[in-house]
Structure 1
């Protein structure tokens, strides 16, 4: 039973923002730590348990998107991106790098807190122990989704780490095989009604899943596009204990 406060690490080079967010999050029942560069963040990840990273993209002398990509490749910790770049293209790039959510500056700390709580709630409820009972793996077309590690395993037994959003979406497809799902249905099933998503987030995640699966973008075999309707997983699925 977990009895410690959720630990949030804030990476931002602005001391004023760091202090404000740390104080606000701690007043609202979270443990918050601040760092001002990527090296400090990696050191903390080696030393402490962290439940979520709030990552500012605009870091002097560092590429925040590259840092996000490296974090996602090595770890399964949820990442919420902060950035003064609020255009939809920048949000899409953030998701493509593996972020679980994206919040543009300036923002209300209450919205940041709400998004953090949604992400933490999703990460705690997955991989869905109550719903899947003893099922630990979902197998489709010789691929395997491990519900314990949240990794995708290729037919050649190569382990592919997934972001939180990728894992949730693929699991939804595998739980509803050979059925057309609209974007709204996919958003609701994978992120919940509280999710602060934008219209193209599902398309971005589908594109990332297709790349993981080695799909031809023009003629995908597994996650197919139902034009004007949504997407469909065109494969049988086997549940393994």
Structure 2
């Protein structure tokens, strides 16, 4: 293969933790090993639970300040920097792939990466040398998000790592520093593990009705539905997937998976 030829990248869904993730004794190493095991991407397209915007929006394509979209944390978490290069060429490609009736795309050039994007990337690609583009979720409807992922799938052949970033279970009332896992969190996580292993895409898209304790594991669905974008981007390779990270953080599942 010519050295200039991009390597086809996987599509991934990751649980992204919170601003304090780097302080965890285990999770940073898991993310670092994951990043090291992947081929070096030409760019990263990030879809985070923390950016809902309709019509669909693209964030900064230059290096701008991060979006510290959290409250009440110690001051040093607001001083974290991640000066990744912008990805204007990737933004052009995304616009072309998504162009069509009912899919307007607009730009927010001052919108920096939020913590659902930069926190895991500081561990996976600490050199901040990969261009990153963040894209909003214009809807929380899983089938529509999956369709967006399918349109974006050709980017993988150009070396782009497509990332759905959320949390496999997410109920802030269940957070606890002892990492005690409530039964409904474990039930949902096990259901999701089995659904992914069996390639049961229909069940995953209809998780609110098919999964046990769905409304307890996800009182609001924004942290689970980025998985639908990943599934769309990996549609031709379903059900093949690899569970890269498992276990719990502060009582929430940190399950993260790779397709391809």
Structure 2 length-normalised TM: 0.27
Which one scores higher on RCO, CA 8 angstroms, separation ≥ 6? 2
Structure 1 length-normalised TM: 0.28
Larger radius of gyration: 1
